[in-house]
A and B are shown apart, each in its own frame.
Chain A
């Protein structure tokens, strides 16, 4: 099968790749680029573990042929940290104990990040909807919801 040349921006860095036309974004991120923070769970768009932000929208990378992402802008969980400093969401997850096994955490963080980017002061109900595409089997969700809520208050201008 003829390889295809594609390029996209991942976590602020331009990458140029040769891929098979039938590869999926999730596998290119994990296996070509070594970004193993993006988890492979159900591979059916149901568990949300493979969530990434593509062109400003959180999506399940297991349902996206990599060719479709050509020219796009992608954020994975590795891109949340800036200059060695964790994102306020990551800090809140650590502080509030919102992580147990950790498998859903990247999907939760990116769902939350996408929410706060569009809606910096969400209600609890809006937070629940935003993370409804990611399954967590450990925490019962409460601490995740609290962590996101507390992170939203650290966004400049949101201090109450």
Chain B
């Protein structure tokens, strides 16, 4: 938030109409009628601020929180499925997410504050398109896919193809709605971790968020494969593919892990920032946190296997 926008922070906000559709087609119809001048509202933790700072000035709000069936976390057809209205608090409190997708549990439980976690949704966090979003980074490492509905029908988009630029995704939020996020639950021999560095533990944007999914054969002391997601280190949530490649089928050894973490830091593109520090500092902490994340992932596999 820029200072100058805070200086004209209005008490009263304005929109003309407030709709509460009972189903998805009804919501999409209202979006269409308002031709780009209506916005979907779920948690509102981003949208209300954007209206206050006049970043967006919708004529109508479409409150989707009364649409039934979108607030569930379930394991169905071999995938963990998160409805569009599931909040960060629900994720953080879910024993299934803790067991089968720890990285997401850790990401959701560090986002914002209890108040923000009680309001904000995972779907909103993703669709806001921020490169360091606390639940986006673990979901990218967990290889998640999202379902998007429009009047033309439904499409599925893997998160790896979802982000275009900071604040910009393949979803046109003036006529489409994300309805579900799904990903495979972690299998035997897999673990996941999220680590976060911020100025303070609550209500601070991350300097860096790292999520790692490790798949390894602990008997052979070998990685099968590894997925790493980072943010914010580029204009979109980032996967350091070369670092991931280096560890595919590699033996679990200190030198190798360090080298891959160093590679991840080279692949990333952090810029010097007043909030997040110099480029050199940011590259150091990327290497550091990636290394720590991989080690922690291995530790978790060791614990599992006694």
Contacts and interface: CB of A to CB of B under 8 A. Distances in A.
Contacts of B43: 63
A1 B116 CA distance: 30
A27 B201 CA distance: 29
Nearest to A57: B118
Contacts of A106: none
Contacts of A59: 115, 118-119
B15 interface: yes
A43 B9 CA distance: 8
Nearest to B44: A63
Given A1-B16, A22-B18, A51-B115, A63 B201 contact: no
Contacts of A64: 44, 48, 119
Contacts, number: 89
A4 interface: yes
Nearest to A114: B114
Nearest to B49: A44
B65 interface: yes
A67 B48 CA distance: 14
Interface string A23-57: 01001000000000000100111101001000001
Size band of the B side of the interface?
A: 20 to 34
B18 A132 contact: no
B13 A58 contact: no
A130 interface: yes
Nearest to A51: B115
A63 B48 contact: yes
B115 A45 contact: yes
Interface residues of A, number: 31
A88 interface: no
B89 interface: yes
A132 B119 contact: no
B206 to A, nearest CB: 15
B110 to A, nearest CB: 10
B61 to A, nearest CB: 6
A133 B118 CA distance: 11
B1 interface: yes
B112 interface: yes
A132 B114 contact: yes
A65 interface: yes
A106 to B, nearest CB: 13
Contact of A129 (B12, B14, B16, B114): B114
Interface string B10-49: 0111111110100000000000000000000101110011
B49 A45 contact: yes
Where chain A touches its partner, the secondary structure class is: mixed
A114 B118 CA distance: 11
B18 A24 contact: no
Given A45-B116, A132-B114, A133-B202, A68 B89 contact: no
Nearest to A66: B18
A141 to B, nearest CB: 12
A132 B63 contact: no
Nearest to B14: A22
A122 to B, nearest CB: 12
A24 B114 CA distance: 20
A130 B118 CA distance: 12
Given A27-B11, A133-B114, A63 B119 contact: yes
A48 to B, nearest CB: 6
A68 B203 contact: no
Interface of B: 1, 9, 11-18, 20, 41, 43-45, 48-49, 52, 61, 63, 65, 89, 112-116, 118-119, 201-203
Interface of A: 1, 4, 21-22, 24, 27, 40, 43-46, 48, 51, 57-60, 62-65, 67-68, 70, 111, 114, 129-130, 132-134
The 9 closest A-B pairs by CB, nearest first: A133-B113, A132-B202, A21-B18, A57-B118, A133-B115, A60-B115, A67-B18, A22-B15, A63-B48
